[in-house]
């Protein structure tokens, strides 16, 4: 017996999307919720995964969502305005907790039962987190050349309300992005949404070298000036976001009354104008 | 430091703001602009109390040392928030150095979870508890002996105990 959820709108990916793409985005989602760092992306022409070869998605069948289709990237009839997809209930069954009124980029798969199924092990995400994927999908659908490396560049400011959280990313518009690899330097500019694209990059190992705003760094580790780890570009299209952080740092020691260093002491920092000091037990 | 102002015998320092004051109004403010690399902003702490250290020895009832992880716990019996727990760090000694608050009364005991293994698996079994010892402020005790009322872990058919050979 299925419960039904009404969704006002969604953007639909090809329901017979390559399975490797599903796997790539699985990693991406895990990454966004945990660390918020470089995300491996969106590759085309990848081999299929044996795991999903049987197309048995019966485990994603306990809830049914009705989706209003705003835009499709293939696999649906041209006049499809609404589709129903099956998903799980959450709690470990890989279901997606769709919320009525939200807009999603949905990657569904057709199961052996001929029905659309969607789970967390797919690129499905709320549209606000679609990033460069939407642009690439539109180009791919409309027959335009697709970039070989794309993503967004955005600044992440510390959120002092949490332990190690950040505020919502601020896209860095009109920023010069460079990648270095194979003895060459390639450059492009981000658009108003911080989206950047490189075309026809040869397969190689690259590292980012964008023009950063003053007082910022590419390193997540506060006070560190270590360069980012180079990445291999092998696929025809890859998505990588560039995350920019404030580079300011405060260093000091924690000393006891005899000026001995106290190792492993936890130090907290809060804005001087904050009304309350966060409790560690909160 | 210690924003909750918790009384922790392993960290006997109260809530302290930079550079070493206890009230927020007196705290020094560090102004940081984008890209600033500020150094040498040390924080100085003063001990609020001297923790009481107790050496706890845990043995089988025949006096043999227990060559496995033994958990020793001290629970405040007036201030229930006062609690200290330690796991013996040295499997050859069966001795735990426990820090507690100096002005609290505690009940101290130890527990050992027997572990078993066979060719396919390893897992926990019976949990054995020691006697309980009362610790009062100013009672002068610096060493405690806790005894697990057995000479080994109970046998399980088909399983070997990690404590075999004690």
Tens place of pLDDT for every residue, chain B, 166 residues? 888 888 888 899 999 999 999 999 999 999 988 788 899 999 999 999 999 999 999 999 999 888 778 899 999 887 777 777 777 666 667 788 899 999 999 999 999 989 888 877 788 888 999 999 999 999 999 999 999 999 999 988 888 887 654 4
A275: Cα separation from own chain's centroid: 34
Kindly state whether A254 is in contact with chain B, defined as any CB-CB distance less than 8 angstroms.
Answer: yes
What are the counts of helices (DSSP H) followed by strands (DSSP E) for chain B? 0, 11
SS3 B22: coil
Kindly state whether B140 is in contact with chain A, defined as any CB-CB distance less than 8 angstroms.
Answer: no
Strand partners, A189: A176
pLDDT in tens, B12-50: 999 999 999 999 999 999 998 878 889 999 999 999 999
Is B36–A257 a contact, with Cβ atoms under 8 angstroms apart? no
Show Cβ contacts of residue A143 under 8 Å, excluding neighbours closer than 6 positions: none
| Contact residues, B window 21-40, toward A, CB-based 8 Å cutoff | 24, 29-30, 32-40
Q: Give the residue, A232 or A6, on which the prediction is more confident.
A: A232
CATH topology of domain B52-161: Immunoglobulin-like (2.60.40)
- Closest to B58 measured CA to CA, from B162, B132, B147: B147
Options 3.40.50.2000, 3.40.30.10, 3.40.1350.10, 2.60.40.10; CATH for A138-246 is 2.60.40.10
Model confidence at A42: pLDDT above 80: no
Mean pLDDT of chain A: 74
What pTM does this model have?
A: 0.58
Model confidence at A159: pLDDT above 50: yes
pLDDT in tens, A177-192: 999 998 999 999 999 9
In chain B, CATH 2.60.40.1120 sits at: 52-161
In angstroms, the CA B108 to CA A113 distance is: 62
In the prediction, which pLDDT does B40 show? 95
Task: Tell me the shortest Cα–Cα distance from A277 to chain B, in angstroms.
Answer: 7
Kindly state whether B41 is in contact with chain A, defined as any CB-CB distance less than 8 angstroms.
Answer: yes
In angstroms, the CA A93 to CA A115 distance is: 18
Please report the ipTM that was assigned to this predicted complex: 0.75
Task: Tell me the shortest Cα–Cα distance from B82 to chain A, in angstroms.
Answer: 16
Mutate to test the interface with B, among A214, A265, A269 (most CBs of B within 10 A): A265
Is A250–B11 a contact, with Cβ atoms under 8 angstroms apart? no
- Nearest chain A residue to B31 by CA distance is A272
Q: Give the residue, A169 or A51, on which the prediction is more confident.
A: A169
In chain A, CATH 2.60.40.10 sits at: 138-246
In angstroms, the CA B23 to CA A20 distance is: 57
Q: Chain B partners of A246 at a C-beta cutoff of 8 Å?
A: 34-35
Kindly state whether B44 is in contact with chain A, defined as any CB-CB distance less than 8 angstroms.
Answer: yes
Kindly report the three-state secondary structure assignment for every residue of B57-115: EEEECCCCECCCCCEEEEEECCCCCCEEEEECCCCCCCEEEEEECCCCCEEEEEEEEEE
| Contact residues, A window 208-247, toward B, CB-based 8 Å cutoff | 213-216, 223, 246-247
- Nearest chain B residue to A271 by CA distance is B29
Task: Tell me the shortest Cα–Cα distance from A262 to chain B, in angstroms.
Answer: 9
Kindly state whether B45 is in contact with chain A, defined as any CB-CB distance less than 8 angstroms.
Answer: yes
- Closest to A36 measured CA to CA, from A124, A164, A160: A164
Strand partners, A257: none
Largest CA distance in chain B: 68
Show Cβ contacts of residue B6 under 8 Å, excluding neighbours closer than 6 positions: none
B36: Cα separation from own chain's centroid: 40
Q: Give the residue, A140 or B16, on which the prediction is more confident.
A: B16
> Which residue bears the tokens 């009832």?
B61
Is A247–B43 a contact, with Cβ atoms under 8 angstroms apart? no
| Bridge-based pairing state of the strands A231-233 and A242-246 | unpaired
C-alpha angle A105/A110/A113, rounded to 5°?
140
């Amino acid at each position: 017996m299925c419960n039904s959820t009404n969704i006002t709108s969604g953007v639909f990916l090809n329901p017979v999307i390559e399975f490797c793409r599903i796997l790539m985005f699985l990693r991406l989602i895990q990454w966004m919720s945990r660390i918020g760092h470089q995300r491996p992306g969106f590759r085309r022409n990848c081999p299929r995964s044996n795991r999903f070869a049987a197309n048995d998605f019966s485990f994603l069948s306990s809830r049914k969502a009705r989706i209003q289709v705003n835009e499709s990237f293939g696999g649906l009839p041209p006049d499809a305005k609404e589709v129903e997809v099956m998903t799980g209930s959450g709690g470990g069954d890989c279901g997606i907790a769709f919320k009525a009124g939200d807009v999603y980029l949905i990657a569904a798969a057709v199961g052996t039962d001929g029905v659309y199924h969607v789970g967390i092990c797919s690129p499905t995400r709320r549209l606000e987190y679609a990033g460069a994927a939407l642009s690439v999908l539109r180009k791919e659908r409309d027959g335009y050349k697709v970039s070989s490396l794309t993503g967004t560049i955005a600044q992440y400011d510390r959120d002092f309300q949490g332990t190690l959280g950040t505020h919502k990313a601020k896209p860095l518009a009109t920023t010069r992005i460079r990648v270095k690899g194979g003895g060459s330097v390639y450059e492009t500019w981000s658009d108003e949404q911080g989206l950047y694209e490189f075309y026809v990059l040869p397969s190689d190992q690259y590292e980012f070298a964008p023009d950063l705003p003053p007082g910022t760094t590419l390193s997540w580790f506060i006070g560190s000036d270590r360069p980012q780890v180079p990445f291999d570009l092998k696929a025809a299209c890859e998505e990588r976001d560039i995350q920019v952080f404030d580079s300011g740092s405060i260093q000091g020691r924690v000393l006891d009354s005899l000026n001995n260093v106290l190792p492993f002491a936890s130090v907290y920092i809060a804005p001087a104008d904050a009304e309350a000091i966060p409790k560690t037990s909160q | 430091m210690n924003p909750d102002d918790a009384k922790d015998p392993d960290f006997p320092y109260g809530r302290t703001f930079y550079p070493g004051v206890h009230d927020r109004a007196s705290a020094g403010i560090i102004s940081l602009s984008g890209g600033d690399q500020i150094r040498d902003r040390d924080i100085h702490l003063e001990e609020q109390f001297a923790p009481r250290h107790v050496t706890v020895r845990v043995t089988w009832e025949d006096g043999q040392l227990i060559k496995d992880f033994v958990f020793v716990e001290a629970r405040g019996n007036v201030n229930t928030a006062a609690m200290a727990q330690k796991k013996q760090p040295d499997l050859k000694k069966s001795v735990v150095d426990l820090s507690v608050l100096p002005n609290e009364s505690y009940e101290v005991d130890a527990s050992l979870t027997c572990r078993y293994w066979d060719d396919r698996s390893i897992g926990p079994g019976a949990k054995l508890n020691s006697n309980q010892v009362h610790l009062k402020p100013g009672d002068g005790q610096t060493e405690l002996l806790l005894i697990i009322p057995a000479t080994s872990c109970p046998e399980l058919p088909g399983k070997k105990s990690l404590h075999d050979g004690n």
